[in-house]
């Protein structure tokens, strides 16, 4: 499942109203009957609606479902993508869609552009998509899962991520700038940097290590634990060290700056699994975050800190003595309620969402030369994802033969 924006400009406003009708109907109906689609789209019935339905089905934004009682349609991930993209374009958040830069287990990351030419990142949450490895154990669960639930859960993940990114950004944390959220998607600023995972040499591992530990402690001081703090979710920006700035002009290219004058600035991303410091498993999540960094620095940079910890007890003490603003509480107040948090957490546990951490644990053995195997694993996950598309086996898209296979992925 990939965002395929090709057809978006050919859809009429009627097509979008019908698509929104199927979306609205999906909230209460696993299969949305055609008359209900007409009604919800607010268009007067007749051939227009039917033409739109068949257009939408042809490009797989909705899929025909033959139910025991009646025929109807369900919204596909593609359909939900188009509704969100249409909203972002209408609100002038996104002007054009560029390349996909990442395929995670539960998200797609795409570079988009604003009309000014500024590049941004669109993150599409796909909580229904399950990794190849976990799909077997979760098959029964997936079969009984409704269209409504993957749509809702993916939207919750996007809401949660946006709310946390906003709160963190406003409180001075080094995270991307959150720009907009619609349905299961968010738009944020593009960080021109590579994940730590792809950085082979760090001039001063001790410095970066301390900065990361400070970040974990600072999060805790604001009532938060990231929960997936690892080399994939830390983007490392290179900047001229402020102390060395006078040696260079503003035009100097980074390539021409001496290694010793470059400062690495970590930017934290990926927030759907954040938890409050009051969470019942807070200590486990905190220790896991700390140990991820420790293990990675040891393995990759052969760096072992001579300072033990930090421990959860230390973080908690810090938090009680000198608390920052309670961002866990602030996020709740912003509309991402405790109930939503619980629903999302339960779903993520049930379908085996474990962030990037699970991925890493698995290829631990393979060690340094992992980049290539990673690529292969991603392919595997992509094909797994197709069987993960909700209810696919009960569904036949109209004119399936007409559709280019690549546009369905
Ligand atoms: P997932 O939940 O699938 O792990 P992430 O939010 O961690 O998704 O993003 C996956 C990858 O996409 C990151 O490792 C990074 O390479 C890239 N990425 C995500 N957000 C940004 C951003 N704002 N700027 C640049 N690259 C990003
Ligand atoms: Mg990630």
Whether residues 148 and 137 share a domain: the answer is yes
Among 4, 81, 108, 228, the active-site one is 228
Give a yes or no: residue 8 inside a domain: yes
Clarify whether residues 205 and 137 are in a common domain: no
Same domain, 57 and 70: yes
Are 45 and 158 members of one domain? no
State both tokens at 281: 């498993």
Site to probe by mutation for ligand 1, drawn from 103, 120, 123 as the one with most ligand atoms within 8 Å of Cβ, is 123
pLDDT reported for residue 162: 98
Residue that is last in its domain, among 61, 90, 119: 90
Which of 90, 120, 148 corresponds to the end of one domain? 90
Q: Whose CA is nearest to atom 4 of ligand 1?
A: 104
Asked whether residue 316 falls in the same domain as residue 205, the answer is yes
Residue whose structure tokens are 């890493």: 360
Claim to verify: residue 208 and residue 322 sit in the same structural domain = yes
Ligand 1 atom nearest 106 alpha carbon: 3
Which position has the token pair 């299961």? Answer: 184
For residue 400, being part of any structural domain is answered with no
Asked if residue 307 is part of any domain, the answer here is yes
pLDDT value of position 5: 74
C-alpha 183 – ligand 2 centre gap (Å):
19
Last residue of a domain, one of 38, 66, 90: 90
| Structural domain contains residue 409 | no
User: For 72-98, what is each residue's pLDDT tens digit?
Assistant: 999 998 999 999 999 999 999 999 999
Contacts 24+ apart (CB under 8 A), 356-361: 356/104, 356/228, 356/230, 356/232, 356/233, 356/270, 357/228, 357/230, 357/288, 357/292, 359/105, 359/131, 359/232, 360/230, 360/231, 360/232, 360/292
Query: Is 358 part of any domain?
Result: yes
To test the ligand 1 pocket, which listed residue (129, 236, 269) has its Cβ within 8 A of the most ligand atoms?
A: 269
Torsion of CA 23, 383, 133, 299, to 10 degrees: -110
Number of folded domains that form the chain: 3
**187 Cα to the center of ligand 1, angstroms:** 12
> CATH number of the domain that 186 lies in?
3.30.200.20
Q: Give the strand pairing for 262-268 and 119-125.
A: unpaired
pLDDT, tens digit, for every residue of 275-326? 999 999 999 999 999 999 999 999 999 999 999 989 999 999 999 999 999 9
Instruction: State which ligand 1 atom lies nearest to the alpha carbon of 176.
Output: 23
The CATH number of the domain where 5 resides is what? 1.10.10.10
Answer whether residue 374 is part of any domain. no
pTM: 0.85
In this prediction, residue 364 carries a pLDDT of 43
* 233 and 338 co-located in one domain: yes
- Please check whether residues 243 and 297 belong to one and the same domain: yes
CA-closest residue to ligand 1 atom 1? 104
How far, in Å, are 41, 83, 97, 183 from residue 86 at the CA level? 16, 5, 12, 11
Taking the CA atoms of residue 122, residue 125, residue 130 and residue 131 in that order, the dihedral angle to the nearest 10 degrees is 30
Question: 148 and 286 share a domain?
Answer: no
Q: Based on the number of CB atoms within 10 Å of its own CB, is 349 exposed (0-12), middle (13-18) or buried (19 or more)?
A: exposed
Distance from the first to the final alpha carbon of the chain? 4
pLDDT of residue 145: 52
Give the torsion sign (CA, 305, 214, 270, 120): negative
How far is 132 from 398, CA to CA, in rounded Å? 27
Query: Would residue 401 count as lying in a domain?
Result: no
Q: Give yes or no for residue 191 CB within 6 A of ligand 1.
A: yes
35 with 103, same domain: the answer is no
CB-ligand 1 contact for 190 (6 Å cutoff)? yes
For 229, the domain range is: 194-366
Q: How many CB atoms lie within 10 A of CB 291?
A: 12
Q: Is the CB of 270 under 6 A from ligand 1?
A: yes
Q: Do 267 and 324 sit in the same domain of this protein?
A: yes
Q: Within a domain: residue 372?
A: no
Clarify whether 379 is annotated catalytic: no
CA distance 127 to 178: 20
Q: Are residues 348 and 243 in the same domain?
A: yes
Is the shortest distance between the CB of 29 and ligand 1 below 6 Å?
no
The confidence score (pLDDT) of residue 189 equals 98
CATH number, domain with residue 353: 1.10.510.10
Which residue is listed with tokens 């042809």? 58
pLDDT < 70 regions, the chain = 1-2, 45, 129-148, 357-409
CB atoms within 10 A of CB 39: 15
Is the CB of 188 within 6 Å of ligand 1?
yes
CB-ligand 1 contact for 109 (6 Å cutoff): yes
């Amino acid at each position: 499942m990939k965002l395929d924006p090709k057809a978006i400009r050919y859809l009429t406003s009627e097509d979008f109203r019908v698509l929104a009708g199927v979306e609205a109907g999906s909230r209460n109906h696993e299969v949305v009957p055609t008359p209900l689609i007409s009604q919800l789209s607010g268009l007067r019935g007749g051939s227009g609606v039917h033409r739109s339905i068949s257009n939408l089905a042809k490009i797989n934004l909705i899929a025909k479902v033959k139910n025991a009682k009646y025929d109807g349609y369900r919204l596909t991930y593609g359909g939900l993508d188009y509704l969100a993209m249409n909203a972002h374009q209408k609100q002038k958040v996104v002007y054009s869609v560029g390349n996909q830069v990442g395929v995670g287990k539960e998200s797609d990351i795409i570079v988009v552009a604003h009309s000014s030419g500024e590049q941004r990142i669109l993150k599409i949450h796909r909580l229904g998509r399950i990794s190849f490895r976990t799909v077997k154990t979760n098959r029964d669960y997936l079969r009984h899962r409704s269209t409504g639930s993957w749509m809702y859960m993916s939207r919750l993940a996007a809401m949660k991520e946006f709310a946390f990114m906003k709160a963190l950004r406003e409180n001075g944390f080094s995270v991307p700038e959150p720009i907009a959220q619609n349905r299961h998607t968010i738009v944020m600023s593009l960080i021109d940097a590579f994940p730590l995972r792809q950085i082979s040499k760090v001039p001063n591992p001790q410095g970066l290590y301390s900065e990361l530990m400070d970040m974990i402690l600072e999060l805790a001081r604001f009532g938060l634990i990231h929960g997936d703090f690892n080399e994939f979710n830390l983007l490392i920006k290179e900047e001229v060290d402020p102390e060395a700035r006078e040696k260079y002009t503003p035009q100097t290219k980074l390539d021409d700056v001496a290694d010793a004058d470059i400062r690495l600035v970590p930017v934290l991303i990926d927030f759907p699994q954040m938890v409050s410091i009051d969470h019942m498993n807070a200590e486990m999540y905190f220790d896991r975050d700390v140990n991820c960094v420790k293990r990675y620095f040891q393995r990759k940079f052969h760096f072992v800190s001579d300072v033990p910890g930090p421990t959860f007890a230390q973080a908690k003490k810090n938090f009680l003595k000198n608390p920052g603003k309670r961002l866990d509480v602030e996020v709740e107040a912003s509309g991402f309620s405790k109930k939503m948090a619980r629903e999302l957490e339960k779903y993520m546990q049930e379908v085996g969402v474990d962030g990037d951490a699970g991925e890493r644990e698995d290829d631990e053995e393979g060690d340094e030369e992992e980049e290539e195997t990673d690529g292969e694993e991603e392919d595997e996950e992509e094909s797994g994802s197709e069987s993960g598309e909700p209810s696919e086996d009960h569904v036949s898209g109209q004119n399936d033969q007409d559709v280019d296979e690549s546009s369905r992925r």
